[in-house]
Structure 1
Amino acid sequence: MRRKTDETDIEINYSKELFVDTGDPVLNHLLKTLFYYMEKDVIIKAKFDLNHHLWEDMGITIGQFLKNEVEGKKIKRFGTSILPMDDALILVSIDISRSYTNIDINIKDAEKGFELGNFKELVLGLSRYLQSTIHIKQINGENAHHIIEASFKALGSALKTALEPSDKLESTNRVYEV
């Protein structure tokens, strides 16, 4: 999967090992965390002009990548994870059906590279292009690094469950021909 714009050039492919090189060491770390908890080995490479564009387009590209993976397949659809990391405790709940995002995070101790705005742009892009409802709620925490990294861990764990194959169509909404 490749997304190339005037601002970014991002490529994600399956691999036999997890490798990430975006040019942003914080995003590298967080994407490795996300895919590790999803239990997916991928190679991600990116070039970009601004960090904001990188994070936003990365969310879009990951959303497209995962959407292509499950297109036409029966999946569990729902995934929820509550994960701690030091002072942070984060809840993530996902429904792969339609796009909606709610991020309830309040960072008190900022840290360079762990900006809430970039994090939100990545999650919004992921939600739009995967067609998923994503709720992220901070239950506890002050440190930006711990809060955002715990969010990526919980997001990966919730996505792992939601993307798993299912024997049935996980919906009570049925379309009946008349």
Structure 2
Amino acid sequence: MRRTTRETDVTVELNSTGEIETGDRVLEHMLTALFHYMGRSARVKAEYDLRHHLWEDVGITLGEELRSKLPERFRRFGSAIMPMDDALVLVAVDISGRPYVSAELSFEEGEEGFEKALAREFLWGLARSLRATIHVKTLSGVNAHHVIEATFKGLGVALGQAIREGERVESTKGLLEV
């Protein structure tokens, strides 16, 4: 999947060689964790003007790629409670056709490159294009790196569960509008 705008040029290919080259070492680190815990290899290439645009557009492009690869029947829901040192983060995903994000990211100590706003832009881009509800809640945590990385690891686990093939349409309506 490729997304090209005046601000970014992003390519995301799931189940491809695991090269991740965005020019943003923090995002590359987070994507490596995300794909590992999702149980998928991926190739990500990106050029960008601002980090804000990069994080958002990588989220959008990943959501489009995931949506294009969903099986006809998929499990829809996924969740994880992810510990990482001082951090404990809950992540829940519902691929339901309704984009929404609640991102309660909290920490006391910042770390260069690890920003709440960027993580939130990634999550919103992903939720909009995947048409998913994503909840992230920091249960505890002091260090920004640990909280944000636990978020991406937990998101990987939750997405890995939600996109797996299922035996039925996971809706009492009998239809998912994805």
Judge same fold: TM > 0.5, yes or no. yes
Instruction: Report if the CA contact (8 A) 1:78-1:93 is conserved.
Output: yes
Q: What's the secondary structure of 2:69's corresponding residue? A: helix
- Match for 1:161: what amino acid? Q
Q: What's the secondary structure of 2:80's corresponding residue? A: strand
Partners of 1:20 and 1:100 lie apart in 2 by 27
CA shift, 1:135, in A, is 0.4
Give the count of matched residue pairs. 174
Unaligned 5+ segments in structure 1 are none
Residues 90-121 of structure 1, C-alpha deviations (whole Å, 9 max, x = no match): 00011100111101121210111100001000
**Identity between Structure 1 and Structure 2 (%):** 47
Instruction: Report if the CA contact (8 A) 1:82-1:89 is conserved.
Output: yes
CA shift, 1:17, in A, is 3.3
Partners of 1:83 and 1:13 lie apart in 2 by 26
- Equivalent residue number for residue 73 of structure 1: 72
CA shift, 1:5, in A, is 0.4
**Between 49-58 and 13-22, the greater mean CA deviation after superposition:** 13-22
- Equivalent residue number for residue 8 of structure 1: 8
CA shift, 1:15, in A, is 4.6
TM norm structure 1: 0.95
Partners of 1:75 and 1:14 lie apart in 2 by 17
Partners of 1:20 and 1:124 lie apart in 2 by 21
TM norm structure 2: 0.95
Instruction: Report if the CA contact (8 A) 1:19-1:32 is conserved.
Output: no
Which has the higher Rg, Structure 1 or Structure 2?
1
CA shift, 1:65, in A, is 0.7
Q: Does 1:24 align with 2:24?
A: yes
- Match for 2:4: what amino acid? K
- Equivalent residue number for residue 125 of structure 1: 125
